[in-house]
Amino acid sequence: MQNSSIDRRAFVRTVLAAATVAPALGAGRNIYWGLGAVTWTAKAGRDRKVRWADILPDIAAGGFDGFEPFTTPALPVNDENMAELEQLAPRYKLRMSSIYWADRFDRASEHDRIRKEIPRFLGYLKRFSCDRLTIGPPPPTVEDEREAIGNMARIMDEIGRIALEQYNIKTGVHPHVGGLIENPRQIDLLMEKTNPRYFGLSPDTAQIWMGGGDPLAMYEKYKKRIVYM
């Protein structure tokens, strides 16, 4: 990265400064800032469990509005952790911004299992009055990229249709470096193969740039399909 000297604290300070600008510009506030659990779980690794009780106080103290759980062994998206969040979130005046669901969506052989998971993830979101589901791409180690993305597209349309029609939740993919959906070619192919009514884009400027894309051009191209950033 060109400015590799910027550290996490400096980044958070910059984000929070930007967050305070919106209300001052007039109009109503329509941008809310959340912080993902990955900030803690990535540091913990696979061997140490993390608790929401250790995370939410820091998120609230930082001035953020919400939190984003994601599927990880250090802090699974399961009944136990959702129950803990249900108790803690009101205490810290925080809301769920999305759930980041990563799985082997590229494997047709896994789709029956994944279908059984759909009500669980969407049920958690509904429980927290959250209307966004973020899809994390599977690993890029596939024999046939086009076939793998085609497999992913089919289950994405299915998830997106159920989410929208039965739960009023919008679904989008989060392109990620080191994932099957990383660069502009892969993003375009997935967007081409999915139904815009049911499936969109949940981009991250840094991930788009590190994947070889132009964030502004990507946002302009898919501005009608962006559901979460």
pLDDT in tens, 73-120: 999 999 999 999 999 999 999 999 999 999 999 999 999 999 999 999
Looking at residues 61-74, what average pLDDT do you find?
94
pTM given for the model = 0.87
What percentage of residues in the chain have a pLDDT greater than 70?
Answer: 87
Distance, in Å, from the CA atom of 211 to the CA atom of 213, rounded to the nearest integer, reads 6
Evaluate if residue 17 carries a pLDDT over 80.
Answer: no
Residues 6 or more apart whose CB falls under 8 angstroms from that of 89 comprise 56, 67, 95, 96, 128
The rounded mean pLDDT for the chain is 90
Contacting residues for 191 by C-beta, under 8 A, at least 6 apart: 201, 222, 225
DSSP symbol at 108: G
pLDDT at 3: 45
Q: What pLDDT is attached to residue 13?
A: 54
